[in-house]
């Protein structure tokens, strides 16, 4: 598996060395596409004593993993300042993602796992995509990709992602919800072996509109999308009141929740599984996961970053990759 560098000023290298130490005996080898100096610094900071093993390609990673963390070294254009996300590092951050992606597309890597990026600094450097998901979808050119987050027995799929709430609501259409639901159902079948995925679809307004008393988007936009999904054989139901659809009893009744905007999906997921949540991109021709947290600039350099979400992301990537291989 290929692990990308992420934002150099954040906690990516710290959680990488901790994840290596946790997984080195579990038969889940991965290699790091990024600046070797970040790993050296993180190993000293955390006291992990992780050695950097320079490799030239993914084929050397498995043999090297027993000795240390395999790294395909990438230079940085500027000095790294811990806790600071610099646009000067944007080309290397993007190059790391592209390298991992190219390896996966060529069948040289079983999956890619992405360390957190700082979107604002990338945008300052001219990166035109809202985040990883949209970039991977565009570069893969393989159709609709959707972001799904998983943890603590909950899976959530946001229909709109990294955009202002006002913009997200204005963009909602039956077609967009249906397209996202189709991609989610196909991804659950392909990557998780769920033959008939059950999709719970959230309403937009309080109490899912209360029969139109609190808004009519459920009737105009959400209900037609659900009907269209059901017409294709997908078990979708709703619109459900967002304030009750994430209880333990409600969660037992579906395989994934289709949510209409970013926070509607991520607040319950992060509340339940902040330290073990995983971001999965469904619909790509390769497996991609990532930790369900950001660059954590505020704690970078303190040696206290929790690697739990990255470890979960690496394990889930390996599991999905194995499932794809056996079901091909």
Domain boundaries, the chain: 1-142+284-328, 144-275
CA distance 235 to 254: 9
**Judging by beta carbons within 10 Å of its beta carbon (0-12, 13-18, 19+), is residue 230 exposed, middle or buried?**
middle
- Band of pLDDT at residue 89, cut at 50, 70 and 90: very high
Element containing residue 112 per DSSP (H, E): strand 112-113
3-state percent breakdown (helix, strand, coil) of the chain, nearest 5: 45, 15, 40
What's the confidence (pLDDT) of residue 27?
A: 85
Query: What token pair was written down for 130?
Result: 């809202």
Mean pLDDT for the stretch of residues 268-279: 94
Is 35 labelled as part of a ligand binding site?
Answer: no
Q: Are strands 146-151 and 278-282 parallel, antiparallel or unpaired?
A: antiparallel
Is 288 labelled as part of a ligand binding site?
Answer: yes
Residues in the chain: 328
On whether the CB atoms of residues 258 and 184 are closer than 8 A, the answer is yes
- The fraction of the chain above a pLDDT of 70, given in percent, is 100
Is 279 labelled as part of a ligand binding site?
Answer: yes
| Rounded (10°) angle between helices 308-327 and 12-23 | 60
Checking if the pLDDT of 181 tops 80, the result is yes
Measured CA distances, 326 to 49, 142, 323 (Å): 36, 22, 5
Checking if the pLDDT of 173 tops 90, the result is yes
Per DSSP, the three-state class of 12 is helix
The CATH-assigned architecture of domain 1-142+284-328 is 3-Layer(aba) Sandwich (3.40)
**Residues 102-159: tens digit of each pLDDT:** 999 999 999 999 999 999 999 999 999 999 999 999 999 978 899 999 999 999 999 9
Mean pLDDT for the stretch of residues 175-190: 97
Half-sphere exposure of 256 (CA within 13 A, CB side): 33
On whether the CB atoms of residues 289 and 76 are closer than 8 A, the answer is no
Q: Are strands 278-282 and 288-291 parallel, antiparallel or unpaired?
A: antiparallel
Is 270 labelled as part of a ligand binding site?
Answer: yes
Mean pLDDT for the stretch of residues 9-23: 97
Domains 1-142+284-328 and 144-275 are alike in CATH topology: yes
CA distance 175 to 196: 21
Alpha helices in the chain (DSSP H): 12-23, 36-46, 61-65, 90-105, 119-124, 132-140, 165-171, 174-192, 217, 223-231, 248-251, 262-273, 308-327
Mean pLDDT for the stretch of residues 89-107: 98
CA distance 29 to 27: 6
What's the confidence (pLDDT) of residue 15?
A: 98
What's the confidence (pLDDT) of residue 48?
A: 93
- Band of pLDDT at residue 41, cut at 50, 70 and 90: very high
Query: What token pair was written down for 238?
Result: 């709703």
Say if residue 219 is preceded by a cis peptide, omega within 30 of 0. no
- The CATH H-level superfamily of 144-275 is Isopropylmalate Dehydrogenase (3.40.718.10)
What's the confidence (pLDDT) of residue 81?
A: 96
What's the confidence (pLDDT) of residue 328?
A: 73
On whether the CB atoms of residues 110 and 288 are closer than 8 A, the answer is no
What's the confidence (pLDDT) of residue 275?
A: 87
Is 205 labelled as part of a ligand binding site?
Answer: no
CA distance 57 to 70: 9
**Per-position b or e across 86-95, b if 16+ CB within 10 A of its CB:** bbbbbbbbbb
Phi/psi zone of residue 303: left (φ > 0), alpha (ψ -120 to 50 degrees), beta? left
Checking if the pLDDT of 59 tops 90, the result is yes
328 vs 108, more confident? 108
The whole-chain average pLDDT of the chain stands at 96
Q: Are strands 146-151 and 154-158 parallel, antiparallel or unpaired?
A: antiparallel
Is 103 labelled as part of a ligand binding site?
Answer: no
What's the confidence (pLDDT) of residue 142?
A: 78
On whether the CB atoms of residues 237 and 199 are closer than 8 A, the answer is yes
Is 4 labelled as part of a ligand binding site?
Answer: no
Mean pLDDT for the stretch of residues 295-321: 97
Q: Supply the pTM of this predicted model.
A: 0.94
Checking if the pLDDT of 45 tops 80, the result is yes
Residue with tokens 């990557």: 191
On whether the CB atoms of residues 209 and 215 are closer than 8 A, the answer is yes
What's the confidence (pLDDT) of residue 271?
A: 96
């Amino acid at each position: 598996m290929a692990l990308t560098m992420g934002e150099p000023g954040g906690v990516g290298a710290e959680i990488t060395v901790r994840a290596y130490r946790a997984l080195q005996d579990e038969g889940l080898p991965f290699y790091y596409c990024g600046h070797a100096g970040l790993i050296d610094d993180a190993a000293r900071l955390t006291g992990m004593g992780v050695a950097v093993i320079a490799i030239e390609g993914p084929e050397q990673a498995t043999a090297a993993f027993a000795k240390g963390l395999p790294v395909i070294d990438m230079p940085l254009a500027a000095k790294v300042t811990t806790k600071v996300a610099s646009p000067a590092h944007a080309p290397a951050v993007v190059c790391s993602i592209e390298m991992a992606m190219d390896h996966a597309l060529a069948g040289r890597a079983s999956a890619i796992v992405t360390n957190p990026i700082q979107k604002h600094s990338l945008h300052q450097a001219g990166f035109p995509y809202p985040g990883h998901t949209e970039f991977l979808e565009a570069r893969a050119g393989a159709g609709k990709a959707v972001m799904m987050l998983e943890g603590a027995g909950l899976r959530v799929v946001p229909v709109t992602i990294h955009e202002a709430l006002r913009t997200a609501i204005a963009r909602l259409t039956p077609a967009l919800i249906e397209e996202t639901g189709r991609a989610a159902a196909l991804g659950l079948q392909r990557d998780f072996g769920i033959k008939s995925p059950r999709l719970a679809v959230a309403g937009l307004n309080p109490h899912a509109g209360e029969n139109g008393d609190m808004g009519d988007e459920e009737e105009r936009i959400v209900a037609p999308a659900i009907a269209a999904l059901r017409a294709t054989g997908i078990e979708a139901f709703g619109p459900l009141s967002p304030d009750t659809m994430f209880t333990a009893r409600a969660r037992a009744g579906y395989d994934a929740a289709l949510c209409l905007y970013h926070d509607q999906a991520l607040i319950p997921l992060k509340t339940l599984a902040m330290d073990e949540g995983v971001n999965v991109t469904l619909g790509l021709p390769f497996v991609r996961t990532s930790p369900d947290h950001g660059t954590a600039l505020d704690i970078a350099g303190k040696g206290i970053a929790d690697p739990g979400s990255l470890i979960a992301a690496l394990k889930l990537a390996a599991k999905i990759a194995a499932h794809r291989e056996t079901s091909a």
